[in-house]
Structure 1
Amino acid sequence: MSKPTVGYAGMTHLGLCSAIGGSSKGFDMVCFDADAALVERLKAGQLPVVEPDLDDMLRDNRARISFTADAADLKACDLVYVAPDVPTDDTGTSDLTGLDKLLELVLANTRPDAVVVVLSQVSPGFTRARQRPGRQLYYQVETLVFGRAVERVTLPERFIVGVAEPGKPLPPAFDTFLKAFGCPILPMRFESAELTKIAINCCLVASVSTANTLAEICENIGADWSEIVPALKLDRRIGQYSYLAPGLGIAGGNLERDLATIVRLGDKHGTDVGVVRAWQHNSRYRRDWVLRTLRSKVLAATPDATLAVLGLAYKENTHSTKNSPSLALLSQIKDAKVQTFDPVVAPKPEWHPRLAGKGSELEACDGADALVIVTPWPQFKALAPTDIAKHLRGKVVIDPYKCLDGAACRAAGLEHLSLGVSA
């Protein structure tokens, strides 16, 4: 068949990145959002999300993309994805109210023969419970990664599709669109697809928790975790793409939501989910590594110290601060004065009573008793330890992700502290 016209409803991170990625494969896109002001900004090329290369991809494919606040425009589509971001609360519980409302709007404004696909992450049972007589409703697992969205939407490893009857072929419009990406397509029952996304994230959490736990062992016995990782990457049972870099727990919202979902399902059905609760505990414990280090090295002696904090986003190359380790740190050091810089995220007064945003990394270091690099933005790696030493009043550099070279820091007279390395 000829190329179908594809619609995306919900211009948040997921829907916007997915739609722009689909346009790069030569499909015409109808991008709907009920927020008329947002649509006008999108028409002007002003993206509400930060993703490397996304602006360029939008510019290159702009002729194939139509932004609209009129749901009736979706009637031109053969295939429509319902793709808003799903908010979660502090317990990892999803609020599906907005998704349900948008799904109803899409079903009311699409042709009866149009394929409708739920792309937002949902709990097992969601899609089957919303089937409608005479409509083609499917589920597709989203696998976006903040900071790597362009890569993930243009070069997917596979498509995981939830269907009512796995043995039947997909509708032509849906099949044509998916095959344009040149990757395996895995149809399965709705509940299997919905749980697959959670299963992927559980495996990621297991890797992260293992790395964090063993990295801390390294810190206490004189080993170096970065020397161990290459050996693990060469083990085929683990592999070169494993999540083995130690970090400050899990953040961003998605992984936390999936762990909370498994705990709730386990409690409901009598399954032992103690290991999942252990992952949750490990994540909270590892998140506070910076706080423990800062207290022992600086705050125990000087509670009202001036601190330079680089990075507010929960990780590099994104604007998201959901469960950010940096914000968690700020909430626990109220007596200190904080000078902060992030290349994307502007500081908010409610995050800390003595918080001051600065115009550059070195300006944030001016007169500080310690430097803390919480988010490993690539540009932080270009900082020269000798320049940092000139601006700091103190000598402590807490750098969990090794943005700076430890030997160069020590040569500049700085005490450099990182995850997985003994001090």
Structure 2
Amino acid sequence: MRCTVFGTGYLGATHAVGMAELGHDVVGIDIDPGKVAKLAGGDVPFYEPGLRELLRRNIDAGRLRFSTDYAEAAEHADVHFLGVGTPQKKGEYGADLRHVYAVIDALVPLLRRPAVIVGKSTVPVGTAAELGERARRLADVAVEVAWNPEFLREGYAVHDTLHPDRIVLGVQRDSRLAEDAVRALYAPMLEVGVPFLLTDLQTAELVKVSANAFLATKISFINAISEVCEAVDADVTLLADALGYDARIGRRFLNAGLGFGGGCLPKDIRAFMARAGELGANHALTFLREVDSINMRRRTKMVELATRACGGSLLGANVAVLGAAFKPESDDVRDSPALNVAGLLQLNGAAVTVYDPKAMENSRRLFPTLTYSTSAAEACDRADAVLVLTEWAEFVDLDPEGLAPLVRAKVVVDGRNCLDAARWRAAGWRVHALGRAD
């Protein structure tokens, strides 16, 4: 089948590659000529394991190309995926939907055959219905708007695109065109038993933000418990292990530490709160304000822990920060707790040296005043404290005995509770961690 994908950022580029990998003829559309040229040349403008290889394979096979031409997109296919960004508005909690509406306004008047526009972006509930009305006013042909939320995890996006744990599709009442088109596009997944959930538009829109709100709540819950653990010298990691054996709770996302960040979770729960307020249901989501507050408080707690680890003052201390991306297997530093903490440490007088396997370029653009290293060993040279703030495997597997001769003080602060504390202590290191006794 033929399809287009509007937006070639993280979501759009990954989805376009995924659709081509499933055997479809795909055109990725973006208004940024530089981004289009880079992707057309087989290069991904962000880091995602395995994506570049699939991109090049499908370009070479003739199944995937990129363009800035909306007219080409309208002529190419009758199914158009909408994967543009919905960032948080400046100075507000709500989502900025300008890019979403811009695609509808530019594409729909160019359509000459009945078409389906399938939303992938995370949007406030009610947006799809509004887009459907807008499309009907602009169209000379029948246009259906459906919503197929994405559930991509950065670092696992290729797997999540090709092997999703469910497919959710919200459609307009009495619609068949959108359902038939999406079922045909996803046929290889449906044939192997991936669950297909057909809903109304508003339910589909709520699925993604509800999932994100739940995950954020679970993370902030264990981080709140971690503060209680610190007050009584309990061990939050062992506590989480014990909770995780309860099938009703589960162990995943019960990892106390620096908290969540990135370009999705924080802005999505804030937009969810804002939309609930607009709908008169603001009291239903007031708990998310505390979820957000707990998460942001972790960054201050990490600075306090680092200060204590450095003897009560950061002034003049050499601090190595290992990790800048908001999570491992990503170069995304949007709202990164690790990079935020690095900046706060510097503001409190520390000389901060940062190393991350993939996020160095993005980090330099965001925090140009920090010092950056080319390796973990170089970052740790003459350090008074080593902070592990992103749980990359190479940091988790660091040899404490091999690192010891490089540092000025054998002090490690585990911001993700990912290190083998016993191993580090056996090598003579003082280990500090959120929610655990020093």
Provide, for residues 152-175 of structure 1, a one-character-per-residue CA deviation record: whole Å limited to 9, x for no partner.
101111122221116757443222
- Native 8 Å contact 2:310 2:317 kept in 1: yes
Asked if 1:112 corresponds to 2:113, the answer is yes
Distance 2:413 2:110 in 1: 54
**Equivalent residues in 2 for 1:174-213 (5 A)?**
174-182=182-190, 183-213=194-224
CA contact (8 A) 1:77 1:110 kept: no
Matches within 5 A, 1:139-158: 139-158=147-166
Deviations 1:189-210 (A, max 9, x none): 2222112211111111221112
Moved more, 27-36 or 262-271: 262-271
Matched-pair contact (CA < 8 Å) for 2:145–2:178: no
Q: Do structure 1's residue 279 and structure 2's residue 291 form an aligned pair?
A: yes
Residues 90 and 406 (structure 1), Cα distance of their counterparts in 2 relative to 1, 3 Å cut: farther
2:324 equivalent to 1:327: no
Which of the residues 255, 259, 264 maps onto 1:254? 264
Partner of 2:139: none
Alignment of 1:209-288 (within 5 A): 209-239=220-250, 242-268=252-278, 269=280, 271-272=282-283, 273-288=285-300
Task: Tell me the SS of whatever aligns to 1:80.
Answer: strand
Structure 1 unaligned segments of length 5 or more: list them.
Answer: none
Matches within 5 A, 1:245-394: 245-268=255-278, 269=280, 271-272=282-283, 273-298=285-310, 300-333=312-345, 334=347, 335-346=349-360, 347-348=363-364, 351=367, 353=369, 355-394=370-409
Q: Distance in 1 between matches of 2:399 and 2:198?
A: 51
1:219–1:421 Cα contact (<8 Å) kept: yes
1:37 aligns with 2:38: no
Query: In the TM superposition, what whole-angstrom CA distance separates every residue of 1:117-150 from its partner, at most 9, and x where no partner exists?
Result: 1211111111111213321111111111111111
Distance 1:92 1:247, change over 3 A: farther
- Residue aligning to 1:83: 83
Q: 1:330 to 1:239 in 2, by over 3 A?
A: closer
Q: Is the 8 A contact 1:30 1:68 kept in 2?
A: yes
Q: 1:160 aligns with which of 165, 168, 186?
A: 168
Pair 1:61 & 2:69 matched = no
Q: SS state of the match for residue 348, structure 1?
A: helix
Match of 1:73 in 2: 72
Match among 135, 158, 161 for residue 143 of structure 2: 135
8 Å CA contact 1:330–1:352 kept in 2: the answer is no
CA contact (8 A) 2:276 2:282 kept: yes
> How big is the shift at 1:364?
0.6
2: CA distance, partners of 1:145 / 1:12: 14
SS of the equivalent of 1:322 reads: coil
Distance 1:80 1:146 in 2: 23
| 2:59 is the alignment partner of 1:51 | no
State the Cα distance separating 1:297 from its structure 2 match.
2.1
Aligned CA RMSD, in angstroms, stands at 2.2
Letter in 2 for 1:337: A
Give the TM-score of the pair, scaled to structure 1. Answer: 0.92
Amino acid at match of 1:192: T
Find the residue that maps to 1:359 and give its secondary structure: coil
Alignment of 1:116-127 (within 5 A): 116-127=117-128
Counterpart AA for 2:105: E
Give the secondary structure class of the aligned counterpart of 1:8.
Answer: strand
Give the gaps of 5 or more residues in structure 2: 137-141
Question: SS at 1:279's partner residue?
Answer: helix
More helix per residue = 2
Of residues 195-204 and 161-170 in structure 1, the stretch that sits farther from structure 2 once superposed is 161-170
The alpha carbon displacement at 1:405 in A equals 2.1
Letter in 2 for 1:197: K
Q: Is the 8 A contact 2:87 2:267 kept in 1?
A: no
Give the count of matched residue pairs: 418
Aligned partner (choices 3, 7, 14) of residue 6 of structure 1: 3
